[in-house]
Structure 1
Amino acid sequence: MRLGLNLGYLVGSEDPGGQLRLVRRAEELGFDTVWAAEAYGSDAVSVLAWLAGQTSTIGIGSAVLQIPGRTPTMTAMTAASLDLLTGGRFRLGLGVSGPQVSEGWHGVRFDHPLGRTREYVAIVRSALARETVSHAGDHYRLPLPDGPGKALKLTIVPPSERIPLLLAAVGPRNLELAGEIADGWLAVFHAPEHADDQLAAIKRGLARSGQPDRDFAVVPTVPVVVGDDPQRCADVIRPYAALYVGGMGSRKQNFYNALAVRMGFADAAAEVQELFLSGRQRDAAAAVPYEFIDQTSLVGPPSRIAERLAVIKESGVTSAALLPFGRTVEDKLAMITAVREAYPG
C-alpha cells in the first residue's frame, strides 16, 4: 500500500500556495499521487496543471472530474494533454457528482447515471486509444447523425499506453460498474470493517469484464488528524462528515447517507441529515458517531495511526490518499510527515 495526498478543492480565500507546499512535501516523502477535486468552485484541471508544472515525480490525479461538466471527448483531450505535459504522471478519476450539482450547476439531468457513465468511459477510452471516435448510444451520439460533423481522431499521443481511469463509486451497482469498466475505485468513508461487501461488488464487476485477476486500484480518501486524544482529533473531522452524510443531497437521495446506513449507523445518519437540512450544522456535526469517524479516518497519536494503517492495508487498499485536517499549512505538513514516519512501508 502506498500513501497519497488528497487536496480536496480550494475553499473561499484559501491560499493555493499552501497546497503547493503540501504537494512538494508529499513528493519529498515519496507519496504516490496527489489528487485534486472540484465541486462548483475551483476546477481540478487548472489546479493539477499548476501543480504538475512545479513537481517532477509525484502522480497527478483528478478525484474527480465531473462527468456532467464535460463532454467525454473533452475529458479525453484533457487527460491526454495532462499526461503528455507530465510525462505520463496523470491518473483520470471520474464521477457523476450528485443531482444538486449536476442539475443546479451544470444543467444536466441526473438520470440513468450508470448508463451515462458506461457510455462516457467507452468514448474516453476510444479517444485515448486514438481511434476514430464514433458512438451511437442512448446518451451520447458521435458524430451527430443529422449534421455536417464527421468522426475524428485525437491528434496528440499521450506517453502512457493506458492512462489509469478510476471511478468514484459508493453504491453496490456503481461499485460493480467500476470493477467492470475502470482501472480502480476512488472511495470515500472507506471502513475496513465494512470493506468486504464493497470489494465483493467490485469483484463481480471484474468477473463480468472477462479479466477477473487484472490489476485494480483501491484508493480511498482518508481524513487525518494527529494528536494525543483520538476523541478530540475526531471532533475536527465531524463537520466534514456531517456535510457529506447530512447535506450532500436531499432527504430522498444522498449516497453518503445511504452508505452510513449500510455501515450500521442508520439512526445516527437520519439524525445528522435532519439536523443538517434544518440549518443546525453544528448540532449535525456533534451527532456524527465517533465510531463512524474512527472507522473511516486516521485519528490519534502516530502509534495508533500506524496500527490503523496496517488494518487499512489488509482491507485491500492499494493507495491511501491522506486528507489532513489542520488550522494551518504547518499543521498539515506536520501531519503528513508524521503519518509517513509511522508507515515506513
Structure 2
Amino acid sequence: MTVRSLHLPVAAQPHVDSLVDLAQVGERHGYDTAWLPETWGRDGVTVLTSIARETESIGLGPSVLNVYSRSPALLGQTATTLQEVADGRLRMGVAPSGPAVIEGWHGLEFERPLRRTREYIEIMREVMSGETVHYDGDLFSLSGFRLRCDPPTEPVPIDAAGMGPKSVELAGRFADGWHAILFTPDGFQNRLEDFRRGVDLGDRNRDDLRVSLSVTACALEDGERARELARQHLAFYVGAMGTYYRESLARQGYEDEAMAIATAWANGNHDDAIAAIPDALLDDLGATGTPEHARKQLQTFESLEGVDELSIGFPRGASSDDIKATIEALAPDS
C-alpha cells in the first residue's frame, strides 16, 4: 500500500512556527511523514526539532541534508539526537545536493558526490551503533571514538536521494530507501530499474527498503493560478539550479523543452522560460490545477509500480493558505 506524505515547502516561510503549523495540519489529515528540505534558508535540524516537539504521530525527516556541509560523524550525532527528540519517528534523507549549492553557498568543492554519499551512510550507521568507530574509506578515516550518549533505541533508516542512474543505483545498494524527485511516470520506471540493480548488487531485500516519489502539487479552486505557480516553480529549478534538473528532464524525453527553459532563463527571459512549459509536461511531473484535476493526477503517480510513498511538495510561490488548501484537498483521508 502506498502511503502519502508531505514534502514541506522549500521556499522561505514567515516563521519556524509556520512550518510547525503545516506539519500539524498534515498530522491531522493523516499524512505519514513530514519531510523538510534544507537549502539556503533556515537549517533543517532546528526546524525538525521544533516540529518534533509540537507533533505526536507524524514521521519526520530531512529530505535532504547534504553530505558536504556537516561531517559524517556529526550527521550520525544529529540523527541520534533527533531520533530521541522525535520519540523514534525519524527517517534521515541525505544526498550530495549539487554544485550550485555546495560551491556557491557553502564554498566547498563538489567532488566525488557518489563515493561521499556512500561513506556518509556507512559512517552514520557506525556512529549510531554505539560501538567504537573504526572506518577507513577513500575519503574519510575515523578511529577511537564512540557516542557519548546512548545510541538510538529505534534504528534510524537512512535514505538517499538521486536523479541519475548511478546515484539511484547507490540508493538501492547502500541506503534504506530512495527519494525520487522531478520524475515523469515513465522516467520513474526507468530509474526504478537502476534502483533494483543496486538492490541486487547489495544483496538486499527490496521489501526492507522504501521508495519515496515526490511530486509538485497545488490544488486550488482557481486551477489556472495553481498551474501558473507550478510553471514558475519548474522554470526556476530547470533554469537556475545548475544542470541536474535539465539533464534529468532530457533523459525523460523532454530535452527540447528543458533546453528552451534553461536558455530563456539564462538570458534573463523568465517569462519566456515559464511559457516554454507545455501542459503535457506540467501534468507529467505533478498534480496541479483544481482539486479534482490534482487528485486525478496524483492517483496516476500513486498507482505506479514500485512507489511505496508518495510525497506531495509545493511550488515556491505558493502562500501558506495555498499550501494548506492543497494539503487538505489531497489528504489521505479526503
The 2-side partners of 1:228 and 1:101 are apart by: 35
Report whether the alignment pairs 1:336 with 2:292.
no
Structural mapping, 1:84-123, within 5 Å = 84-123=84-123
Runs (4+) of structure 1 moved beyond 6 Å? none
Report how far residue 160 of structure 1 moved. Answer: 4.5
Report how far residue 232 of structure 1 moved. Answer: 4.7
The 2-side partners of 1:19 and 1:71 are apart by: 26
Aligned AA for 1:117?
T
The 2-side partners of 1:8 and 1:25 are apart by: 13
Aligned AA for 1:211?
R
Report how far residue 212 of structure 1 moved. Answer: 4.0
The 1-side partners of 2:80 and 2:103 are apart by: 28
Contact kept, 8 Å, 2:235 with 2:261, in 1: the verdict is yes
Structural mapping, 1:165-314, within 5 Å = 165-227=158-220, 232-249=225-242, 254-314=243-303
Contact kept, 8 Å, 1:186 with 1:219, in 2: the verdict is yes
The 1-side partners of 2:136 and 2:71 are apart by: 15
Contact kept, 8 Å, 2:264 with 2:273, in 1: the verdict is yes
| C-alpha distance 35-161 of structure 1, shift in aligned 2 (>3 A) | same
The 2-side partners of 1:291 and 1:125 are apart by: 42
> TM-score scaled to structure 2, two decimals?
0.93
RMSD: 1.9
The 2-side partners of 1:26 and 1:160 are apart by: 26
The 2-side partners of 1:169 and 1:304 are apart by: 28
Candidates 308, 313, 317, aligned match of 2:307: 317
The 2-side partners of 1:4 and 1:293 are apart by: 21
| C-alpha distance 231-328 of structure 1, shift in aligned 2 (>3 A) | closer
Report how far residue 230 of structure 1 moved. Answer: 5.3
| C-alpha distance 344-27 of structure 1, shift in aligned 2 (>3 A) | closer
Which shows bigger deviation, 300-309 or 120-129? 300-309
The 2-side partners of 1:327 and 1:161 are apart by: 36
Contact kept, 8 Å, 2:287 with 2:295, in 1: the verdict is no
Aligned AA for 1:116?
R
| C-alpha distance 14-278 of structure 1, shift in aligned 2 (>3 A) | farther
The 1-side partners of 2:231 and 2:295 are apart by: 22
**How high is the sequence identity, in percent, across the aligned residues?**
33
1:146 is matched with none
Report how far residue 90 of structure 1 moved. Answer: 0.8
The 1-side partners of 2:206 and 2:319 are apart by: 43
Q: Which runs of 5+ in 1 are unaligned?
A: 144-150
